[in-house]
Structures are given as C-alpha cells and as structure tokens.
Amino acid sequence: MDRGETIAGIYGELTRFTRRVRARGGAWHPDLSLVAYTLLAHIDGAGRVRAADLAAHYALDKSTVSRQVADLRERGLVTPVPDERDARAHVLTITPEGRRRLDEANASLRDRLEDRLSSWPEEDLATFAALLARFNADMS
C-alpha cells in the first residue's frame, strides 16, 4: 500500500470514528447531547469563557452557541459571572451540578473505552496513546 492509500485509509477510519461519536453522543449522559457535553467540557477546561469565544473556537454562529448556552444555563450546568477584564461583559463558568454531570459523563466514557480496549495488549495501548498524542500535537 502506498502513502496515498494509507492516508485515504486513515481518513476513512477517522470519518467512521467521527460519525460514531456523533451518533452515540447522546448516550454518554442521558441529559447531555454531544454539543452540550462538548461546550460544558470546554467551559470547564477554560475555567471562564465568553460565549463569543466558544462560537469562534468551534466556528459556530453566535446564535447557535447562544441557544446551547441558554439550555446549559436553564439546566443549572453553567452560570454567567462578571468578567474581571470588562465590567460590562460576563463569562461562563461551570456550576457544581455541571461539574457532577460532566464527571459522570467522563466516567461513563472512560468505562466504555476501557471495555472496548480490554483485549488490547499493553504495548498496543501505549503505541496507540503515543500516536494519538502526536497526532493531536501536530493538529495544534
């Protein structure tokens, strides 16, 4: 197999993986869609983030993010707090309930991944982890 065929194969596998994640995203947590989970995880990782920054990061329309953020707020998963850099603005931060649900979703994902990889030898796991880290570092 030449390099072009190999790259095409990788592309195909990444596409299958992405489709599977999208299709099963709602199963991670009964109350969190894939989009809600993604935004909640991002807000948690950032600590505090403006909705406009979420829109820019994910290349989404601000109104789309606004609707998602409104849903997260209504569920009590995020809350707006005054932005220390700009008294007129607010940033989003995760609430204790948001933290609890995110932790539950993360634990569920880790458990499912552990199940899927349970038959893999340790050496293959280490190689896979190293290659994923390299791939993600190159994407930055």
Per-residue buried b or exposed e for 99-128, using 16+ beta carbons within 10 Å of the residue's own CB: eebbeebeeeeeeeeeeeeeeeeeeeeeee
36 pLDDT more than 90: no
24 pLDDT more than 80: no
Token pair of 108 as six digits: 């569920």
20 pLDDT more than 90: no
Tell me, what's the pLDDT at 27? 63
CATH architecture of 3-139: Orthogonal Bundle (1.10)
> What angle (nearest 5°) sits at the alpha carbon of residue 37, between those of residues 33 and 43?
145
Span 111-137, pLDDT tens digits: 989 999 999 999 999 999 999 999 989
State mean pLDDT over 93-118. 91
